[in-house]
Structure 1
Amino acid sequence: MNLIELEGVYKIYKKGEFAIKNLNFNLENNEFIAVMGPSGSGKSTFLNICYGMTKPSAGKVKIYNKNISNFSEEEITIFRRNNLGCIFQDFRLLDYLNVKDNIILPLTFLNKKNGEMKSKLKFLSEFLNIKDILHKNIFEISGGEKQKVAIARALITEPKVLFADEPTGSLDFKSSDDVMKLMKKIQTQMNTTIFMVTHDPYIASFSNRVIFLRDGEIYNEIYKGENNKQFYREILDVLSFLGGNDYEF
């Protein structure tokens, strides 16, 4: 089943520049995809269109078989809040709230009862191994822990799709590796579909499919087979043709 479908999508900015050109795309249930490409290739615009943050200039965007292209700002905000989750490179946590309150914040907007909040918080804090830091302030925890808290906050509403925009961009290698192993666990054990933008080929190798963009169009896509190392090498090979020395490693 396709959770997200793009049909002939364009995004044109005020200067007449194409960010996305005639994009056709399907995201299937329980997929883990990574989107790569040089700076300015349209990666973030692609994610924002699929997440409902950016309206296309033309074409259809369907999420859960609903055409959201013509939703009002209020309608799409409510739809995202109820159905989608997103994490970012800079975490976007609220410093004046502790870890626990950051995680359950989306449920307060949905007017959920305290019992449901506690139950979901208990499950996610144990699943993500962050129960020991629930009462800490945000400035007291590490970057890797902050991203885990951001993941918990994104998952607390039980979205079918988790979007991740450069989720390891602010982390060291060990923390990045820990977060990506956790993302894979979320996909396989929580049956959550993941749409991730990254410039890092190692991070992309955790996905099942990599889509490469160039100048707002799909340049290539590859699927993971049985061999993880081979998949990583294939990603590097495509990147070498895609951007050459201009690619942002």
Structure 2
Amino acid sequence: MTLWERAQLAITLLAIDPQRLGGLVVRARAGAAQAEMLAAVQSLDIPKVKLQHHMTVEVLNGDIDLTASLAGRQLVTRKSIFDCAPSLLVLPMAERSAPQFSARICQALEAGLGHSLIALDEGVEEGDGLPAALTDRLAFHVTLDDLALQDLSSIAFPSSLNDSRAAVRDVILPADLMTQAVTLAASLGISSLRAPLLVGYAAQAHAALHDRYQVTEEDLKAAVMLVYPHR
């Protein structure tokens, strides 16, 4: 499987079960690869919310609408940007995220609101990147900087996407396969407790994508390939 095929699979699995998989980090400078990924994101039938680093605390957390409160003589509040229908949060230049900003996104992902995140990491230096607390919550990470134009192709989601979404939570995950995922994480030195859980969710999404009602070794291998390497 090529790097671009992995990226296609990652965003397809995320489209099937965005809430449990959390999101995707796309490490790529502005260019054709990033543009193709963004085009795929925009084509998804999921509401999108674009985040900006300059967003104020009031926008992120909500606050009191003083003018409306005085006019109506009762407390009126503005909602947080996260108080909306389950959405795909899109964060450009994610490597510039301040710790407090990243922490607020983590809270939104953990709040059970159904949000997931596409983090566009355009960092150049090796040390650049998102805070570990945020990336730990996102199942997938793809690096696309080394891809040439001829390596790319348009991403088309399967017509059965809605069927896969409806079935994914009912896909059976055998205990022995989950044990394999946990054992492998430990042998690789992955200390995150979320990582094996994300592998399980990704394996279920992969099985649902292929119209299977139980996770197989093939599904587990695909999930491990996408979730563990960057950890």
**TM-score, normalising length from structure 1?**
0.38
Larger fraction in strand: 1
Q: Which one has a larger percent helix, Structure 1 or Structure 2?
A: 2
